[in-house]
Amino acid sequence: MGGTGQFAGYVRVRHPELLRFALALSGSRYTAEDLVQEALERAALRWRKIEGDDPEGYIRRIIVNQNLNLLRSRRRERLVGEAPEPSTDGAESPHDEALERALSSLPRRQRAAVVLRYYLDQSDEQISDLLGISASSVRSSISRALLKMRSSVTTTSPSEAVLDVH
């Protein structure tokens, strides 16, 4: 039972953080839950092989890859007027809401790069490995994303115009 018990303990401790990560990547609570569930199912099957290495990195990579697969499968599908999701932790500040709107307006790959950089403090090389793009493409994606986010925040709420992630 050692491997199974250790996996269950890992899930108990890390599930909330993995869910926040997936939510930041996908922009949808329902999609995030699916991404985490799929990643944990795959990790459970390989737990004995991955537990000694970097299970967190392995599981996050699955989440990123699954999210990119969703992007590819839904590329032509544009949802318009999606209802906002209810807040799970009480009232959010206007700044949080503006940031969330700006982040959700990004293409998925740019959103993934921004989340990996500023939410998980990943390097260009780490992001490059996770997303399967060059380090220079990572920097370019993040730069474009930040410009778009600043523009979005400035045009939607002048009092929230400061978006400084450095």
Q: Does residue 126 share a domain with residue 60?
A: no
DSSP letters along 52-113, please? TS-HHHHHHHHHHHHHHHHHHHTTT----SPPPPPPSSSPPPHHHHHHHHHHHTS-HHHHHH
Q: Does residue 56 share a domain with residue 22?
A: yes
Task: Judge whether 112 and 25 are in contact, CB under 8 Å.
Answer: yes
In a domain, 36, yes or no: yes
In a domain, 86, yes or no: no
pTM (predicted TM-score):
0.56
Q: Which domain holds residue 41?
A: 1-75
Q: Does residue 97 share a domain with residue 153?
A: yes
Over residues 81-133, the pLDDT tens digits come to 444 454 555 545 566 777 788 888 888 888 888 888 887 788 898 888 888 88
In a domain, 40, yes or no: yes
In a domain, 129, yes or no: yes
In a domain, 80, yes or no: no
Q: Does residue 62 share a domain with residue 16?
A: yes
Q: Quote the pLDDT of residue 166.
A: 46
Number of domains making up the chain: 2
Residue tagged 């599930």 (tokens): 15
In a domain, 45, yes or no: yes
In a domain, 160, yes or no: yes
Domain final residue pick, 46, 75, 104: 75
Q: Quote the pLDDT of residue 42.
A: 94
CATH classification at residue 133: 1.10.10.10
Domain final residue pick, 9, 44, 75: 75
In a domain, 152, yes or no: yes
Q: Quote the pLDDT of residue 13.
A: 94
